[in-house]
Amino acid sequence: MRIVTSGQMKKIEENALHYALSYERMMENAGSAAAAAIRRRADISGRYITIFCGRGNNGGDGFVAARRLYESGANVAVILTDGAPKTGQAAVMLERIGDMDIAVVAYGEDQPYLTQRLAETDILIDAIYGTGFHGELDERHRDICRLINGVDTETYALDIPSGVNADTGWADECAVRADATVVFDSDKPATAMPAAADWCGEVIVADIGIPPEAHEGIERQFTLVDAAYVFGRLPRRRRDTHKGDYGKLLNVAGSQQYMGAAVLSTLAAMRTGAGYVTLASTKEVCRTVLPLLPEAVMRPLRQNPDGSLSWQAMDELRSAMERATAILIGNGLGTGEDAVRIVSEVLKTASCPVVVDADGINALARNINILKRARCDVILTPHLAELSRLTTLPVEQLKADVLTAGRALACEYGVTVVLKGAYTLTAGPDGRVWINTTGNAGLAKAGSGDVLAGIIGALTAQGHNAPEAAACGVWLHGLAGDYAADSHSQYAMLARDVIDALPLVFADHER
């Protein structure tokens, strides 16, 4: 799947001009392709189709679609939401429907007609903004979108539903909710994100005649992670290898209060193929969990009276770090002052990649600038509340547009950020984004994050670069969660069931 931003799409269209393809021809192709997509989904002969057209090029696409649908036997009306077109190409397309029996009415000028028309309408088409929408809808356009959403009929959007930001997936509360979105040339980030399904409906990518050469030099910023992506990076194992070839993960985790986090993250790492997994924790934790983790190496360290890891264990921890190919820190570590000091010291001194999760992120939030002193690759795995602590942005703001905040954090500190949520995204330090396609609501359980951290830690220890390890780890975790839901249900599944499903995921893909 090819995913391009709105800015990249403009560049592709500019490039297409060098291949005898004019803007007018691209608009003609886009509107015609949209009409063809609608005809494939519905019998339009004699049916009433109403198209809301803005004054930009998206409106021009709508004018072309109006003409093509009329030529196919539909009863078509065009509603101008913002008056006459402002672009020359769109104005030409409006002129071309002038001699046809297509009603063209300005929104707000003939309310009785519009009310009657919508009552008769079989199909609605949104061609108001397209990928040009940014910010928030003003009240006038909210009223228009509410009107569209209030009509009980099939609705199509051209390129992106009005009110949805094509690059981030952020949607105004009144954004058009389409049954299908016809995307021109390439998917946009929002149409590729599972979270946008509530607004986009079925996504149909339409060829508008832009040659492949016009896409050359367009750097891929968004990647949809699927089985081909993941298992194209996880090779089958050769016979002539040994455990040292598959990495050494040091897992700094657990406390008297949170022993389970140490167990889940360690076991998940072992199930994801790490050659060695060492649990560095308090003596009490190591002694207690050893029967559950006989394959793991235990590194018992000094503890505080409250059962948390002591700062006095740092020298021993440094020694263990020297032999690791990756470090996972934070799961069940606690939030005391010693935990804060240990997390900071690990980030300052580690020479291998470090994955920071859970209490590690809470510790880091108290001194986030320590990331700028890190000499290693760093992966952060925050949920919304933890991301709020790291960025100081309110949770409600992050809910509206988590991608922008996550990318900004990743770029500012040169780290990889796993934005955990219903639809997890991974942001790399260079601004690239990986979109996950697996998982379900059953993963919203205690311990699920510990499992994910262990999976990512294991992949990092095996030598995968930070963004790749994070994106693949998220996908594997989600698919194992889907397997667990199939066998245990979303209600009853537990984090341990996700770990138990990992061998099935690998076996089904011959790994």
How far apart, in Å, are the Cα atoms of 350 and each of 271, 277, 390, 455? 25, 17, 21, 20
**What pLDDT sits at residue 500?**
98
pLDDT of residue 86: 95
Q: At what angle do helices 495-508 and 466-492 cross, to 10 degrees?
A: 120
Mean pLDDT across the chain: 96
Residue 175 confidence (pLDDT) above 90: yes
Q: Residues at the annotated binding site for K(+)? A: 58, 126, 162
Q: What is the pLDDT of residues 431-444, one digit of tens each?
A: 999 999 999 999 99
Domain ranges of the chain: 6-219, 227-235+243-509
User: Token digits for 449?
Assistant: 């994050």
**Residue 134 pLDDT exceeds 90:** no
Q: Which fold is adopted by the domain 227-235+243-509?
A: UDP-N-acetylmuramoyl-L-alanine:D-glutamate ligase (3.40.1190)
Q: Is the pLDDT of residue 156 over 90?
A: yes
The DSSP result for 252-276, as a single string, is: E---SS-HHHHHHHHHHHHHTT-SE
Q: Hey, which residues does 509 pair with through a beta bridge? A: none
pLDDT digits (tens, 9 = 90+) for 42-73: 999 999 999 999 999 999 999 999 999 999 99
Give the closest residue to 168 by CA, choosing from 406, 384, 403: 403
Query: For residues 358 and 395, is the Cβ–Cβ distance under 8 A?
Result: no
* Mean pLDDT on 357-384: 96
Of 343, 327, 351, 353, the closest CA to residue 466 belongs to 353
Report the DSSP pairing between strands 416-419 and 180-184: unpaired
Annotation: binding site for AMP? 420-424, 449
> Residue positions in the annotated binding site for (6S)-NADPHX?
57-61, 130-136, 159, 261, 332, 383, 450
Listed in sequence order, the DSSP H helices in 121-253 are: 139-149, 189-192, 197-200, 227-231
Annotated binding site: 57-61, 126, 130-136, 159, 162, 261, 332, 383, 420-424, 449-450
Are 40 and 54 in contact, with CB atoms under 8 Å apart? no
- Name which CATH class applies to 6-219: alpha beta
Both tokens of 318, joined, read 């440094």
Element (H, E) at 248: strand 248-252
Q: Going along 232-373, which residue ranges are E strands?
A: 248-252, 276-282, 297-301, 326-329, 354-356
- What percent of the chain clears pLDDT 90, i.e. is strictly above it? 96
Q: Which two tokens stand for residue 405?
A: 């905040």
Rounded CA-CA distance 126/507 in Å is: 45
- Calculate Rg over the CA atoms of the chain: 27
C-alpha distances out from residue 47 to 100, 118, 124, 176, Å? 16, 12, 11, 22
Strand-pair category, 425-427 with 416-419: antiparallel
The whole model's pTM is what?
A: 0.92
What is the widest separation between alpha-carbon atoms in the chain?
A: 86
Q: Is 481 exposed, middle or buried (0-12, 13-18, 19+ CB in 10 A)?
A: buried
Query: Please, are residues 25 and 57 in contact by the beta-carbon 8 Å criterion?
Result: no
Q: What is the dihedral of CA 398, 400, 405, 407, to 10 degrees?
A: 130
State the Cα–Cα distance between residues 138 and 182, nearest whole angstrom.
Answer: 24
pLDDT in tens, 76-127: 999 999 999 999 999 999 999 988 999 999 999 999 999 999 999 999 999 9
Residue 214: which pLDDT band, with cuts at 50, 70 and 90?
Answer: very high
196: pLDDT strictly greater than 90? no
Residue 477 has pLDDT above 90, yes or no: yes
Tell me, yes or no, if the two domains 6-219 and 227-235+243-509 fold the same way: no
